[in-house]
Amino acid sequence: MSPTIDPTVAAVSGERVDPTLGTIPAGEVVLDQLVAARAPWSAVVAAGDVLSIVDLGGNQAVDCILYSAADTSERYSAPDTIAAQGRIFLTTGSVLRSNRGNALMTVIADECGNHDTLGGACSKESNTLRYGHHTKHQHACVENFLREGARHGLGKRDLVSNINWYMNVPVEEDGMLGIVDGISRPGLTVTLRAEMDTLVLVSNCPQINNPCNGFDPSPVRMVVTRP
C-alpha cells in the first residue's frame, strides 16, 4: 500500500489549497495517499465521494480503469463514453460510462483541461515493438494493472481500454495518434465524483521512451473526500 501523507493545508474559499499538493475539494478526507513513480494503486470510491488526482511533478500520465465495485464485469468503456459526450478528449463535465451505458464517475473539475482515452496502456510487448527489444525488461502499465488488479480478483481478460489522465495524445489529420509533450504543470488536479461505488485501478505510468512522462516518471497524489 502506498504511504499515507498528512499535508498541512489552509482553507481558502471552501477548499484546502497547497501549491505543491494540489487543490482538494472541501469535505471529510477519507483517503490521502502518495503513489510513487512507476507504481500501481487502487481503491473503492463510494458513490457520492470525490476523487482528486494531483499531478505533483507535472507531465505525469496516470493510466486508469474503472469498475463497478459491486460487479466488476461492468467496467469503463471508452466507446460508450466518447459516443455519449460527442468528443474524444475528457475534461470537466465528461461522464465516464460503463460497458452497460451507466455513469461510473463524472469529471467535476479539471485544472489541466485535456485528457486522453484513446492511447491505451503501455506494455512490455508494445515497448518492444515501438522502441526495440532492449526495452523488453522495462516495467509497464499493463504489468501494473495486472499486479494491482489481482488484489481484486481481476486478470488479463478484465483489462479494457483505459483513461490516460494528463497524457497529451493529439489525433493527426491522417487519423494517427501522437504522443507528445504534456500540457500539465506541477500541482494541477482533476476531480471525479463517483456515481456508483467504483473500483479505481491506476498505473502511475513508468514509460521512459516517449514524452508522456517527460522521460522522468514522478509521484502523484490520490485524495478521496466526502462532501
169 grid coordinates: 495524445
**Cβ proximity of 76 and 96 under 8 Å:** yes
Residue 177: pLDDT band (50, 70, 90) is: confident
Phi, psi of 46 (to 5 degrees): -70, 150
Q: Kindly list the distances between the CA atom of residue 43 and the CA atoms of 68, 94, 200, in Å, as whole numbers in the listed order.
A: 12, 21, 6
The partner residues of 97 in beta bridges, in order of sequence, read 103
Q: Which residues contact 133 (CB under 8 A, 6 or more apart)?
A: none
Tell me what the pLDDT averaged over the chain comes to: 87
**C-beta of residue 179 within 8 angstroms of C-beta of residue 121:** no
Is the pTM value of this prediction over 0.85?
yes
pLDDT at 197 over 60: yes
Average pLDDT over residues 18-32: 83
- Express each pLDDT in 109-152 by its tens digit: 999 999 999 988 876 666 565 656 676 665 789 999 999 999 99
Q: Distance between CA atoms of 66 and 221, rounded to whole angstroms? A: 18
pLDDT number for residue 22: 78
3-state secondary structure of 88: coil
pLDDT at 162: 97
Place of cell 501549491: 19
pLDDT over 70 (residue 203): yes
Across residues 65-94, what is the average pLDDT? 97
Q: What letter represents residue 49's amino acid?
A: D
Q: Do residues 154 and 72 make contact, with C-beta atoms less than 8 angstroms apart?
A: yes
Q: Residue 78, Cβ neighbours under 10 Å: how many?
A: 20
pLDDT digits (tens, 9 = 90+) for 34-71: 999 999 999 999 999 999 999 999 999 999 999 999 99
> Can you tell me which residue has the cell 489525433?
171
pLDDT of residue 5: 39
